[in-house]
Structure 1
Amino acid sequence: MKSKMKIVAVVLIIIAIFSARSVVRYYFPLKYSDYIVKYSKEYSLDVYFVIAVIKTESNFKRYVKSNKNAIGLMQITPDTAKWAAEKMNITNFNEDMLYDPEFNIRMGCWYLNDLKAEFNNDMKLVLAAYNGGRGNVQKWLKNSEHSTDGKNLDYIPFQETDKYIKRVEVNYRIYKFLYNNTLMSILANIYY
């Protein structure tokens, strides 16, 4: 009788875990996964990192525009997009393209990879630059009030950027927990 009760208890715990995961997935959706997987792979980025950036930037709302004029899923400003389009050899760029999920994710991943190369794969610095500007991060690294070694940020003077990095890190952990098997399945179907 005790072994049957243990089995029932284990089954109930498993059901509770899967039910809770389903509820949490409602608040942490996974949209545009094909594009995210495709361009994360193309630009050598962690899929969950890109998802976390999109969740933090736009909450997967493709038509969102910020008060700073950043557009789309990955919240790219028109000035940054024009510069990136030149670097990416996109000759027909116009601002409306940023509302297209595939284009926005492609450009956002390209830009994250560009920052990754500049900041030696330090994803905290990449996030700081994505949110606060690469020039600001370079200044902070040269300032002993912000960096004791010139390679790591000990203090981020923009509170918004500091909070942004923390939100992306939390979203990263949540998405990795919720979708680990799902994304591996998508990768397997697309690339193998």
Structure 2
Amino acid sequence: MSARPTAHQLRGGTSRRRPTARQSTARRRSLRRRRFAIVLVALAAAVAGAVMLAPQLHQAAEEITLPLRHEDIIRQQAQDKNLPPDLIAAVIYAESRFRDQTSPAGAKGLMQITPETAQYIAQKSGGTAFELRDLGTPQINIAYGSWYLRYLLDRYGENELLALAAYNGGEGNVDRWLGEHGAEGKVFSAETIPFPETRHYVQKVQEMRGEYRATYGTELGL
């Protein structure tokens, strides 16, 4: 009687040898090389993607730290009112950072115009159909704010320092400060503005003019 076939023989298989220690080491090394190559490819792809996205990321960062909106309106109003466009942009930044908002004092919109000042501007500029809610419209708000800047520059002999101080602190206060400085023989400067808020405001606008000119000169038509 012949011997029974083993289970391995019934499956038609052949005997397999276990890999030697040298073979196992080689396989591990090969696997590590493949994994390292995959990591390098992924890293290269990530670097390439970062390089391609760098301009967009830079622009996004600028939009957060130095926003600019409605540049077409700013250019148009700058030309119409004979104002530097970077001055308008800097005032908007200092007033609202290009956000449509209402201050606790009731100043509205991008250039933070009070209802009383808006009514005065409307009367002087011929805006007879003006309504308070119109200040929420960028076109009207920037037009009114630019008109007021031009009015103040004319009033103070193109002295930007005095015009900005009056835009924030009021014409009456600026007139009083000028009188006090003159009586004491002092030179009026941003550092000598009595109101800390107005002093900081004037310095901020003057600083941001340079930032907007350097960053958005083309967009502002400079």
Query: TM tier, shorter chain?
Result: 0.7 to 0.9
- State the secondary structure of the residue aligned to 2:163: helix
* Number of equivalences: 168
**Contact persistence 1:36–1:50 (CA under 8 A):** yes
Q: Partners in 2 of 1:146 and 1:75 — Cα distance?
A: 33
C-alpha displacement at 1:48, in angstroms? 0.2
Residue of structure 2 aligned with 1:43, choices 81, 87, 94? 81
- Whether 2:159 is the aligned partner of 1:118: answer no
- Could you list the runs of 4 or more consecutive aligned residues of structure 1 that deviate by over 4 angstroms after TM superposition? 17-21
When residues 20 and 121 of structure 1 are mapped into structure 2, their CA distance, relative to the original with a 3 A threshold, is farther
Residue in structure 2 matched with residue 182 of structure 1 by the alignment: 219
- Whether 2:56 is the aligned partner of 1:56: answer no
Consecutive unaligned residues in structure 2, runs of 5 or more: 1-51
When residues 85 and 147 of structure 1 are mapped into structure 2, their CA distance, relative to the original with a 3 A threshold, is farther
Q: Partners in 2 of 1:100 and 1:148 — Cα distance?
A: 44
**Contact persistence 2:102–2:109 (CA under 8 A):** yes
Consecutive unaligned residues in structure 1, runs of 5 or more: 1-14, 188-192
Residue in structure 2 matched with residue 140 of structure 1 by the alignment: 177
Residue of structure 1 aligned with 2:197, choices 141, 160, 178? 160
Q: Partners in 2 of 1:59 and 1:112 — Cα distance?
A: 18
TM-score, normalisation: structure 2: 0.70
C-alpha displacement at 1:144, in angstroms? 2.7
**Contact persistence 2:71–2:219 (CA under 8 A):** no
Identity level (%): 35
C-alpha displacement at 1:26, in angstroms? 3.2
**Contact persistence 2:109–2:136 (CA under 8 A):** yes
TM-score, normalisation: structure 1: 0.80
- State the secondary structure of the residue aligned to 1:143: helix
